[in-house]
Amino acid sequence: MIDPIDGTVNFAQGQHHVAVSIGWLENGVGKVGVVHAPFLGETFAAAEGLGASCNGKPIQPSGETALERTLVGTGFPYQKDARVALLKRFGAVLTHCQDIRRNGSAALDLCDVACGRLDAYYESVSPWDFVGGWVIAREAGATVDHLYPVPEGVPHDLYAEHLLVTTPAIHEGLARVLQNADQQS
């Protein structure tokens, strides 16, 4: 999976939160991830069983344990009608967590969880947006999962809906917050 410009709108607007994202999968399982942010001077890399790094130095998630101190990254779909449902989640996260960031590059958001700049990330994207960062976050020690079960027959590491990637201690709590928000009418 290759995304030559993750953060396309950022790139078009001259913003620097942009990356090239590469993820290698075998039989639907992410094995290698590389995310290069040329304007930020950072290259994140990971391979199954070998850990994760940024510019060659090992990285790990923040280790945050309290939702109220959690900094959460997310994004919004380009289709405006699909954004309405996300407003409930947005409000719930702002109520229960420290704050939200919307940086415009899923791959970099996942890497930010991997190195502790963000404590969590949730969004639905495309496979090329997340596979590289997903492998990096997992190898760094983050909990990589989905908010809802993956459909039968779809590889876990390719299913791009309802991603939830967190520092391990807050995963269940944030999942409950998001699922409860989805159930509100």
Q: Which amino acid is at 57?
A: K
Q: Is 59 exposed, middle or buried (0-12, 13-18, 19+ CB in 10 A)?
A: buried
Could you tell me the pLDDT band of residue 181, with boundaries at 50, 70 and 90?
Answer: very high
| CA 139 remoteness from chain centre | 13
Mean predicted confidence (pLDDT) in 162-175: 98
Domains in the chain (CATH in brackets) are: 2-183 (3.40.190.80)
Residue pLDDT, tens place only, 38-96: 999 999 999 999 999 999 999 999 999 999 999 999 988 777 777 777 888 999 999 99
- Evaluate if residue 4 carries a pLDDT over 80: yes
Could you tell me the pLDDT band of residue 141, with boundaries at 50, 70 and 90?
Answer: very high
Entry pTM: 0.95
- What does the mean pLDDT of the chain come to? 95
Could you tell me the pLDDT band of residue 185, with boundaries at 50, 70 and 90?
Answer: low
Mean predicted confidence (pLDDT) in 143-161: 96
